[in-house]
Structure 1
Amino acid sequence: MTGSRATIARIWRGRTRPDVADAYEPYLREAGIRPLEDKALGVQLFREDREGESEFITISYWEDVEAMSRFAGPDPRRIHHLPRDAEFLIELPQGVQVLRILAAKLPPG
């Protein structure tokens, strides 16, 4: 993260079938994560492989709701699906979580 302090976390979740998870991961990195790296204070991408599905979770960190809204639009909970999401995801997510960060201690970088 840059020198600004993150006060907001925006959390997106999407699930794929196991047979397309390995193809979705690089697509999500390029089409979803790369734009966030340029705008958010920080971003993390997680993947959990389970029986029958793989879940991807993206957490982006923002200085405040206004900064997040400049990227996501006036309703920061609104989903902006990637062009190929319908091809990969089991169902299209209907929203994201927007959480205030109350405490954070991260390991060194």
Structure 2
Amino acid sequence: MAAKTPTIARIWRGRTLPENADAYERYNYEAGIKPLIDKALGVQTFREDTPTYAEFMTISYWENVEAMAAFTGGDPKSIHHLDRDKEFLIELPAGVQVLSIRSSHGTLGPQEGGEGRDA
């Protein structure tokens, strides 16, 4: 069976206070990312640390809007807040961004576990 090609990217963003960033990153991986890995064609997580906040971004890749909608329970732009998001996040995100993938070049990839890609 041929590998499925992603045509849709779903982007979620959230911000925490710097002192909560490490704990939120662990929680988000266990409660949010692990279940997503089993459903999406691919998942990437990003983190930017600043003096006043840490921003997290998750990009998940989907074969089509219907596959993404099946995961979200209907509306592909609907957001499912994790149980402890109110505790960690500065504000709850109102939605996600859904983009059509127009082109992709090269290989993606840090390995699982937060390690950077070898040079």
> Would you tell me which structure has more helix in proportion to its own residues?
1
Structure 1 alignment gaps of length 5 or more: none
Distance change in 2, residues 1:106/1:85 (3 Å): farther
| Distance across 2 between alignment mates of 1:106 and 1:70 | 29
| Distance across 2 between alignment mates of 1:108 and 1:98 | 19
| Distance across 1 between alignment mates of 2:21 and 2:15 | 9
SS in 2 for 1:39: coil
Structure 2 alignment gaps of length 5 or more: 110-119
Kindly tell me the number of residue pairs found equivalent between the two proteins: 108
Structure 1 residue aligned with 2:50: 50
Distance change in 2, residues 1:108/1:18 (3 Å): closer
The normalised TM-score by structure 2 is 0.87
Identify which of structures 1 and 2 has the higher relative contact order when contacts are C-alpha pairs closer than 8 Å and 6+ apart: 1
The normalised TM-score by structure 1 is 0.95
Structure 1 residue aligned with 2:92: 92
Q: Tell me the CA shift for residue 23 of structure 1.
A: 0.4
Q: Tell me the CA shift for residue 105 of structure 1.
A: 1.6
Identity, in percent, stands at 65
Paired amino acid for 2:86: A
Q: How far does the alpha carbon of each residue in 1:47-75 deviate from its partner, in whole angstroms, 9 at most, with x for none?
A: 00012000000000000000001101211
SS in 2 for 1:87: helix
Q: Tell me the CA shift for residue 108 of structure 1.
A: 5.6
Structure 1 residue aligned with 2:14: 14
Paired amino acid for 1:8: I
Structure of greater Rg:
2
Paired amino acid for 1:94: A
